[in-house]
Amino acid sequence: MKIKLSGKEYTVKFGYAPVYQNRIIPRVVGMGQQGDELEAIDNMLGFLPEFLLVGLQKFHADEFGFDFDDKEAKEKQLVKMYDLLDDYLDPENEEGKDIMSLYDDLTAELEKNSFLSKLLAKEEQTAKKKPTKK
């Protein structure tokens, strides 16, 4: 997935180590299970910068890389994400999108074009083959 942030194009691709070591899967699943709309938005605002940062590790570690065990290093990179997202989500930015669209795009990238894609496709096929209960 390509994304333009502050006038520069980046490639988002979710790699195994960043996804696993940053515990992204449980957080994505948790986002889909939230009830209260305001709480869900608040959680989305907190999660989206990390989700994007993890997706940028594979091809842009030179600019956004960090030691996954170093919270200070991660926080330093998250500050960069906050600034990039602030520009990207600005209503005056014609190239940007809204927060939900960006989250949906990142989730689709994780599901369709990452190391998880074959597993998720297989799960989907298995689910389609199961008869529905009446």
What is the per-residue pLDDT across 29-58, written as a single tens digit (0 to 9) for each? 888 777 678 888 888 999 999 999 999 999
pLDDT at 131: 65
pLDDT at 94 over 60: yes
Residue 94, SS3? coil
The average confidence (pLDDT) of the chain is 88
User: What does pTM read for this prediction?
Assistant: 0.83
Which has the closest alpha carbon to 85: 123, 54, 52?
52
What secondary structure letter does DSSP report for 131? P
What lies within 8 Å, CB to CB, of 90 at 6+ separation is 96
